[in-house]
Amino acid sequence: MNFELKKNKQIRTNFKPINSNYSLYKKEEDKNFQFILKMIKAGVHFGHKTKKWNPKMAPFIYQKLQGIHIIDIIQSYTYLKNCCKLLYTKSSSKNYSTFLFVGTKKQSPIPNCILHNAFNCNSFYINKKWLSGMLTNWKNTIQSIKILKYLKLYQKTNHFNTLSVKLHSIIERKKERLERYFGGIQNMITIPNTVIIVGQQTELTALKECRKLGIRNITVLDTDCNPEFADLFIPANDDSSSSLSLILGELQIAINLGRQNFYKNSRNKNILKKSISIFKII
């Protein structure tokens, strides 16, 4: 660890400044080294055991330490900054962009981190299970979403209260199943502009659908992943809640700052009134 810190100190002047709040988007005094230290503290640089790795991740591995691979934290920082710049540009463009966060790996911090950060930047998410054809068979997805919305509204009617207990149970189970898989995208009108993926090996179906439809994806890659499947990526630990919270937190900050810039443009007011309703939670 000390050796890594010394290395980081020697090359910290190669980066552009970020602010004291560790946001990558406000140009103030130089805080690059402090942000890298924060990444190290969050465990962003810890990979998997050396036996469990993908050789294609070799360019992003700094060294082996006590049987695990250590990710090059400088590259993690650089790739994170580049991804954040892209999200900022997309979210501030005149063509209102939508973002989808995907991470469904069970018994891991991924689903909760996906939900939290997607909610904080008014984006869509899938954190339970990616059903095959979720994007490529969009007509069926829209149909399922319509059924979910109808069942929610129907449960509020007086007629629903007159049904038998058995029918109540059937409708409730149907609604819960649809809510589980489509709840995070129930207000998504069209396929997203950008998909942010965590847990590549679990989300291969989602990646294939994105590539088939030409949707740009940003993937957090651990040492057991394949960078060839991602359009843009961030080499980082995807098993730690602190690591994911830091990385996804910066991505959602980028989206929020881009939208703030979008809102400032008075010409976009009419677009805003239409677009903001997309994120209304039912």
Q: How far apart are CA 218 and CA 198, in angstroms?
A: 9
Q: How far apart are CA 103 and CA 94, in angstroms?
A: 28
Which residue bears the tokens 């130089």? 30
Query: In this structure, are residues 279 and 113 in contact, taking their beta carbons and an 8 Å threshold?
Result: no
- pLDDT at position 99: 96
- At residue 125, the 3 state secondary structure works out as strand
Express as a percent the part of the chain with pLDDT over 70: 83
The number of helix segments (H) and strand segments (E) in the chain equals 10, 8
- At residue 280's C-alpha, the angle toward residues 196 and 245, to 5°, is 35
Q: How far apart are CA 78 and CA 83, in angstroms?
A: 9
How do beta strands 46-49 and 68-71 pair? antiparallel
Query: Which segments of 12-98 are extended strands (E)?
Result: 46-49, 61-65, 68-71
pTM above 0.85, yes or no: no
Which CATH number among 2.40.50.100, 3.40.50.10490, 3.30.360.10, 1.10.10.10 corresponds to the domain 2-130+191-279?
3.40.50.10490
- pLDDT at position 15: 37
pLDDT along the chain (282 residues), means of 10: 40 38 48 87 93 93 93 95 94 87 92 95 95 95 95 89 89 94 94 96 95 96 94 94 95 93 65 40 31
